[in-house]
Structure formats: structure tokens, C-alpha cells
Amino acid sequence: MNLVETIRIGLRGVTANRLRSGLTVLGILIGVAAVIVLVAVGNGSSLAVTQSIEKLGTNTLTIRHGSFGPPGSGGQTQFKDLTVADATALMDATVAPDVKSASPVVSSGTTCTFEGTSYDTSVTGTWPSYFEASNNTIASGDYFVNDDVVNSRRTVVLGQTVVDELFGTVDPVGSEIICAGTPFTVTGVLETKGSSGFSDSDDVIIAPLTTVQSHLTGYGSLDSILVQTASADVQEAAQSEVYAILDDRHDTTDTSSRDYQVLNQASLISTVEDTSQVFTVLLGAVAAISLLVGGIGITNIMLVTVTERTREIGIRKAIGASKSAIMGQFLVEATVLSIIGGVLGVLTAILVTRFQIAGTTPVILPISVIGAFGVSVALGLFFGSYPANRAASLRPIEALRHE
């Protein structure tokens, strides 16, 4: 008896009891779809977070002001301000060849108004190099330039969220908004970057550093310096150069307790990726359990089928069916059920992941499709083999006597 015939007989068994076959298939379907969808959700949210971090610029280092050493370690007694001079020093091409630009950053939370509409946000004061470093491009109007910084001009560039809140559909370029009592002229609007789930990268107002210092923050320490490195590959080198320059300028004696901190985007991304991978694996594991339950469903149904068809097995054996022919028939039945369930599960998952789930856009991992489908077929073989073997081992005379 060849394989095609075995499959034909097995298929007949599947179609003989459609409701029961359907329910078994449903169990596998749900398991397979759950694995693929949940892994896709985990993967999607991880990608979303990574992308939103990448939007901030992948080849940047952020230098923040303050002490971040272990508590009680003593550290430096003297806190030096993070200054514009620090930023300028970082741009020394001989000492720091891997630093492309360094932009001092100050920011201040304020309320801005336009023709009676007001909106709470924060104003960032910086240099024009900040735009490129932070991956911001102008959608309409213009950037402010170095000359605006030198002359403390009251010009601002707005993020799309601020535009929506204050101007609605009116074109803001050339208009004047008032922040903390000071009028600013809008010179440009930034290209939208989208929300990253936890922060809105379009909710920004960017103005020349000197202007923000004189009208909003005063001339204390900078909040941070945004360093753009020559490329993403030289992050490590640039970071060492930054440490060397700033340790010298800030008289750092103990490198474990500096009065500033350097944040590396690349290492942040890898941390986030690690965390979300754990999350994805957990989701997948939960779903895998439902797939296992689906597999046990196959065993259950096949056992019932074998019992119910004991007499049929007896007849087949009396006619001369070999043990392997009977075994094959029931294995094919179980496997066909799980393959149909697997295929439908994959299709269902593809359909479901076209929608947003819990605020994230699921992204299917091909390995989860192959894995879930493979496991479902293996389950069919594994969980089907016990009932199949039981059927095949029945003695013909006893099987025939079965009512």
C-alpha cells in the first residue's frame, strides 16, 4: 500500500465526522495563531521602541549634567557646570576627530500662546547643528542659523504637535507666538517624527541657545550637550574622546563618580531590545501552552475515534490490512487535522496582525510562522501516534467483536 492510498483513506476519516474534525482543527488553529500573533505583537512593540530611539539619531551621544556615581561614594566635592566652552572643546578636530558636532542644550517648560490659544510645552535652546544631530528636518519655512544665535534673535522652529495645538490649520511660518511673556517669530516647522508610545517627539519648540538663556533659563549650567559622531561605527571612540576632554576640563579624579554622564544611543537600543526580547519570549511561551493543549485535543479525539471505529479496524484487519497500514491511516488523520489547523492558524494570524493590537503594530517574525506550523505538524504526529499505535495493535478478532 503506498503513501497516496494511505493519505486518501486518512482523509476520508477526517471528512467522515466534520464537526469533530472541525473542533480539533479549531484547537490547533487557535494555538498556532496565538503563537504567531503574540510573538508579532512583542516583536512589533520592540521594533517601535527601537525605531523611536533611532529617530533621536543613532550616531549621537548625550552628555548630561549632574553626578551619577554610586550613592555614598563621596565622589567629587566640586560640581562644575556643563558649559558652552565644554561643547566648543569637544569640537576640537585633533583631540576629538570622531566628534562631528556638539550642540549645547538648555530647556525650560513654559506656556506659549497664539491669538488666545495657549499650550503647555517646553522650549529647547540650542545651536543649529542640533537639527542634524537630532535627526530633525524642516518641513516648511527655515532653520534658524548661527547668526540668530550670535544676535539672540527671538526666532523659533516648531514641532507639528505644537503647530496643531496653537495654529490648527493656519500656516504658522512668519507668525508670532508668546512664550513666558516674550514674543518669538516662527521661522519654520519640523517634519513630523511621530509618537514613540511614551513620548511625543513632535511636541517641541526649538530656539537659539542665547535667546532661551536670556529670556527663559538664565545662564547657569547647560542641561546637556548633544554630540553627533562622525558615524555610528565610531560611537565607542567618540565616547572615549568625550571622556578624555571632559574629565580634564572638569578635574575628574575618580572616573566612577563624574559630575556628568554620557548616554550612548546604541547601548540604549540594545538594552531596550534585550528587555523586549524577554517580553516576546514570555508571550510566545504562553501561546505555546495553548498550542500544546490543542495537541492534547488531537490525542483525545483520535482516542475517541479509535474506540468508536474499533469494529472498522477489525474489518480492515480481517481483510488483510497490515499493522503499518492501520497505523498510517490514523497517523494521517491526526496529521491532516493538525496541518489544516496549522495552515488556518497561519492565515488567521496574518489576518489578525494586519490590525493594531494593544496600541502596537504587530510585525510577524518568519521564524514564529515556521516554528508554530512545524510544531503543530509534529504535535499531530506525536499525539496521534499513541492512538494510532493502539488501533494498529488491536487483535482482529477482538476488534471485530467490539460493538
Partner 1 sequence: MTPVISLQQVTKVYGSGEATVHALRGVDLVVERGDYLAIMGASGSGKSTLMNIIGALDGATAGHYELDGINIDSLDESGLSIVRNRKIGFIFQSFNLIPRTTAQSNVELPLLYRGVGRKERAARATAALESVGLANRGHHEPNELSGGQQQRVAVARALVAEPSLLLADEPTGNLDSQSTKDVLDLMDVMHQQGRTIVMITHEDDVANRADRVITLIDGLVSADRWNRPRGQRSRTVTA
Check residue 16 for interaction with partner 1 (CB under 8 A): yes
Check residue 5 for interaction with partner 1 (CB under 8 A): yes
Residue 16 or 23: the one with the smaller Cβ distance to partner 1 is 16
Binding mask 322-341 for partner 1 (x = CB under 8 A): xx-x----------------
Choosing from 318, 347, 351, 367, the residue that interacts with partner 1 (CB under 8 A) is 318
Residue 354 or 395: the one with the smaller Cβ distance to partner 1 is 395
Least distance in angstroms from the C-beta of 386 to partner 1: 19
Choosing from 339, 363, 396, 402, the residue that interacts with partner 1 (CB under 8 A) is 396
Least distance in angstroms from the C-beta of 398 to partner 1: 9
Contacts of 315 (CB under 8 A, 6+ apart): 400
Least distance in angstroms from the C-beta of 12 to partner 1: 7
Residue 21 or 110: the one with the smaller Cβ distance to partner 1 is 21
Residue 234 or 400: the one with the smaller Cβ distance to partner 1 is 400
Check residue 312 for interaction with partner 1 (CB under 8 A): yes
Check residue 397 for interaction with partner 1 (CB under 8 A): yes
Check residue 11 for interaction with partner 1 (CB under 8 A): no
Check residue 18 for interaction with partner 1 (CB under 8 A): no
Region binding partner 1 by CB under 8 A among candidate stretches 249-257, 266-274, 365-373, 393-401: 393-401
Please write down the HEC assignment for all residues of 59-102. Answer: CEEEEEECCCCCCCCCCCCCCCCCCHHHHHHHCCCCCCCCEEEE
Choosing from 319, 355, 358, 366, the residue that interacts with partner 1 (CB under 8 A) is 319
Please write down the HEC assignment for all residues of the chain. Answer: CCHHHHHHHHHHHHHHCHHHHHHHHHHHHHHHHHHHHHHHHHHHHHHHHHHHHHHCCCCEEEEEECCCCCCCCCCCCCCCCCCHHHHHHHCCCCCCCCEEEEEEEEEEEEEEEECCEEEEEEEEEECCHHHHHCCCCEEEECCCCHHHHHCCCCEEEECHHHHHHHHCCCCCCCCEEEECCEEEEEEEEECCCCECCCCECCCCEEEEHHHHHHHHHCCCCCCEEEEEECCHHHHHHHHHHHHHHHHHHCCCCCCCCCCEEEEEHHHHHHHHHHHHHHHHHHHHHHHHHHHHHHHHHHHHHHHHHHHHCHHHHHHHHHHCCCHHHHHHHHHHHHHHHHHHHHHHHHHHHHHHCCCCECCECCCCCHHHHHHHHHHHHHHHHHHHHHHHHHHHHCCHHHHHHCC
Least distance in angstroms from the C-beta of 50 to partner 1: 56
Least distance in angstroms from the C-beta of 399 to partner 1: 9
Choosing from 1, 95, 278, 286, the residue that interacts with partner 1 (CB under 8 A) is 1
Choosing from 82, 163, 190, 321, the residue that interacts with partner 1 (CB under 8 A) is 321
Q: What are the φ/ψ torsions at residue 72 (nearest 5 degrees)?
A: 75, 5
User: Rounded to whole angstroms, how far apart are CA atoms 387 and 392?
Assistant: 9
Q: Which of residues 198-237 bind partner 1 (CB under 8 A)?
A: none
Residue 296 or 397: the one with the smaller Cβ distance to partner 1 is 397
Region binding partner 1 by CB under 8 A among candidate stretches 166-174, 260-268, 314-322, 374-382: 314-322
Choosing from 147, 171, 296, 311, the residue that interacts with partner 1 (CB under 8 A) is 311
Longest dimension (CA), the chain: 104
Q: Which of residues 65-104 bind partner 1 (CB under 8 A)?
A: none
Q: How many residues bind partner 1 (CB under 8 A)?
A: 22
Least distance in angstroms from the C-beta of 325 to partner 1: 6
For partner 1, the binding residues (CB under 8 A) are: 1-2, 5, 12, 16, 311-312, 314-323, 325, 395-397, 400
